[in-house]
């Protein structure tokens, strides 16, 4: 009897997992995930464009791009700004008046937009120490220095840091920074480097603490500021 029940519960678990997977590709599955109205979302996002740009491609590096982000992640963040579990004075004020329906519509709209590519980050004055010893201030050398930082970031993204036990980002955010839609892990590719640096620094300090299981805090707190910058530069160039 016990064995039979076990078999039954395993097959039930499998069946429900299959139906979730199946529903993922099915736009008519509102019982699993609210599906917003893209056209209504476009209208409702009018007040967002001043910071997040047309089609969610912000021109200001500290305002995140929202284009092509998974709608389930956007929905979660907007609710978090609204209920105060994620703190940002500008965003809390913007999210407060939104209804649940506004949030799903706006999120569906941004998820359906295409994210724009970034140009190579410009070497900042505090990157100077990372410059190879022989480098001068010639533009070509600066470009080499940026490429070296990006290569370091690429290694961290793919392999993590075994010594300091930083997990490889690729495991959750995907080989192309596309995130994981069923798991609602956010896409990162082509995001502004400055915003990524702020996000990781906020996870590290705990200023941003609404992340599930505190996953990103556990990872970011083991990262050095240099690693945060390198991986952010790398991700900003992913297409």
- Per CB under 6 A, residues contacting ligand HEC are 45, 47-48, 50-52, 62-64, 66, 74, 76-78, 88, 90-91, 94, 106, 166-167, 169, 171-173, 185-186, 188, 196, 198-200, 210-212, 215-216, 219, 231
The CA R_g of the chain, rounded to the nearest whole Å, is 20
Residue 131 or 153: the one with the smaller Cβ distance to ligand HEC is 153
User: Nearest approach, Cβ of 64 to ligand HEC (angstroms)?
Assistant: 4
Q: Over the range 9-20, which residues count as b (16 or more CB within 10 Å of their CB) and which as e?
A: eeeeeeeeeeee
User: Nearest approach, Cβ of 197 to ligand HEC (angstroms)?
Assistant: 9
- Residue 162: other Cβ atoms inside 10 A: 8
- 91, 172, 190, 194, 196 from 239: Cα distances, Å: 27, 17, 6, 17, 15
User: Nearest approach, Cβ of 170 to ligand HEC (angstroms)?
Assistant: 8
User: Nearest approach, Cβ of 16 to ligand HEC (angstroms)?
Assistant: 22
Q: Is 70 exposed, middle or buried (0-12, 13-18, 19+ CB in 10 A)?
A: buried
- Residue 222: other Cβ atoms inside 10 A: 16
**Separation of alpha carbons 104 and 34, rounded Å:** 7
Residue 143 or 158: the one with the smaller Cβ distance to ligand HEC is 158
User: Nearest approach, Cβ of 46 to ligand HEC (angstroms)?
Assistant: 8
């Amino acid at each position: 009897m016990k064995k039979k029940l076990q078999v039954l519960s395993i097959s039930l678990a499998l069946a429900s997992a299959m139906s979730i997977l199946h529903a993922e590709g099915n736009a008519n599955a509102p019982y699993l995930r609210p599906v917003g109205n893209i056209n209504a979302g476009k209208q409702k996002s009018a007040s967002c464009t001043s910071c997040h740009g047309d089609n969610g491609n912000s021109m200001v590096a500290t305002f995140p791009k929202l284009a092509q982000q998974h709608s389930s992640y956007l929905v979660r963040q907007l609710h978090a700004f609204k209920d105060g579990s994620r703190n940002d004075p500008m965003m809390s004020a913007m999210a407060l008046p939104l209804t649940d329906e506004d949030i799903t519509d706006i999120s569906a709209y941004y998820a359906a937009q295409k994210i724009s590519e970034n140009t190579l980050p410009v070497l900042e004055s505090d990157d100077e120490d990372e410059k190879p010893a022989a480098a001068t201030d010639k533009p070509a050398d600066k470009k080499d220095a940026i490429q070296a930082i990006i290569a370091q970031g690429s290694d961290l993204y793919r392999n993590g840091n075994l010594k300091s036990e930083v997990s490889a980002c690729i495991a959750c955010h995907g080989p192309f920074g596309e995130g994981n839609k069923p798991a609602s892990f956010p896409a990162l590719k082509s995001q502004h480097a400055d915003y990524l640096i702020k996000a990781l620094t906020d996870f590290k300090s705990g200023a941003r603490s609404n992340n599930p299981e505190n996953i990103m805090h556990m990872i970011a707190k083991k990262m050095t500021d240099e690693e945060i910058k390198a991986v952010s530069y790398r991700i900003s160039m992913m297409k």
